Amino acid sequence: MKETAHIPVLLEETVAVLDPKPGETVFDGTVGSGGHALAIAEKMGGQGTFIAADLDEVNLAEAKAAVTERFPSLSATWVRGNYADARSILSGAGADFADVLLLDLGFSSAHLTSGRGFSFAKPEEELDMRYDATNGATAADIVNGAAESELAEIFWKYGEERFSRRIAKAIVEARKKGKIFRVGELTEIVYSSLPASAHRKINPATRVFQALRIAVNGELDNLRRLLSDLPEVMGVNGRAAVISFHSLEDRMVKNAFRDLQKSGEAELINKKPVVPKRSEVLNNPRSRSAKLRAVRMTGKKNKKVE
């Protein structure tokens, strides 16, 4: 079996809260290269129904090969699609609901080497940033086509970038001289538009690239759709877990799970988010911002008092 370069984050903790069992139906909505999938399939003893989705056909194929080789008896369905369409994906696979659901919202290590401009460390790459490289507008389309106010809104809303207006203005000025197609061109514009104080803690382009990636892939809208559909997607006592990597995602998950608890439709498995141990962060620095939240669905809803 081919070893993947991607290291699954919070692997033991995720499997523990999901507690997959033989014969259950599992939906992995962001299967990636299959790191979590392999561990879940092992806990299932290779028995049950495994439904995996991913927008990236390369990652999906890699996960399929890895899981199929290790667990040939597992009934598995592999869908190139959006986890936000969980209800239709489950229905298409012949499942009424999921006993276990996992979303790992981090982009995989494979994306950093995909040539699609996810990393500002690759200045020669084109500004694409699509998980599904065959569909939708690219980051370059947004950078070159959006109005200054739209760019500022994207950088502020999705990147929480306090210099969003300054960066947007610099981009609009720069594209008067020619379109911006490459990573290095955008990072240079961002660097030159910011004061020296903004260069100290993290790479100045970090929030801009995060914002563009989220905008290109509709990540927050997808998460919102899935969270609102959880009561219809999950079975009674079903466990759902989400691993997030920045405050926007985590806030959405926290609020959605809290609302499900208040309505009586779910119970929190952990009151506080699970975060990586120091040893994991040292071994995999990209895990440092990860937060795992999980709920168990009750199938009930609190009745309003008349």
Domain positions in the chain are 11-110+220-297, 113-217
Please state, in angstroms and rounded to a whole number, the distance separating the CA atoms of residues 174 and 52: 42
List, as one string, the DSSP characters of 51-86: EEEES-HHHHHHHHHHHHHH-TTSEEEEEES-GGGH
Residue 9 has pLDDT above 60, yes or no: yes
H/E stretch holding 104 reads strand 98-104
Please state, in angstroms and rounded to a whole number, the distance separating the CA atoms of residues 171 and 131: 24
Residue 306 has pLDDT above 50, yes or no: no
Confidence of residue 157 (pLDDT cuts 50, 70, 90): very high
Q: Which of 107-121, 195-209, 246-260 has the lowest mean pLDDT?
A: 107-121
Give tens-digit pLDDT for 36-95.
999 999 999 999 999 999 999 989 999 999 999 999 999 999 999 999 999 999 999 999
The one-letter amino acid at 77: T
Confidence of residue 109 (pLDDT cuts 50, 70, 90): low
Secondary structure class of 254 (helix, strand, coil): helix
pLDDT of 121 reads 81
Q: Which residues contact 200 (CB under 8 A, 6 or more apart)?
A: none
pLDDT of 3 reads 39
Give tens-digit pLDDT for 114-124.
678 888 888 99
Percent of the chain with pLDDT strictly greater than 70: 92
pTM of the model: 0.90
**CA 255 and chain centroid, separation:** 17
- Residues 23-37, mean pLDDT to the nearest whole number: 96
- Residues 161-171, mean pLDDT to the nearest whole number: 96
- Residues 155-174, mean pLDDT to the nearest whole number: 96
Measured from the Cβ of residue 149, the count of other Cβ atoms closer than 10 Å reads 11
Residue 125 has pLDDT above 70, yes or no: yes
pLDDT of 13 reads 98
**CA 197 and chain centroid, separation:** 30
CB 74 within 8 A of CB 22: no
DSSP tag of 286: G
Asked if the 113-217 domain carries CATH number 1.10.150.170, the reply is yes
Sheet containing 291-297, strands listed edge to edge, beginning at the edge strand earlier in sequence: 75-80, 49-54, 25-28, 98-104, 234-244, 291-297, 266-268
Please state, in angstroms and rounded to a whole number, the distance separating the CA atoms of residues 170 and 167: 5
Mean pLDDT across the chain, nearest whole number?
92
Confidence of residue 202 (pLDDT cuts 50, 70, 90): confident
Confidence of residue 156 (pLDDT cuts 50, 70, 90): very high
CATH code matching the domain that covers 11-110+220-297, chosen among 3.40.50.150, 2.60.40.1120, 3.40.50.300, 3.40.50.11930: 3.40.50.150
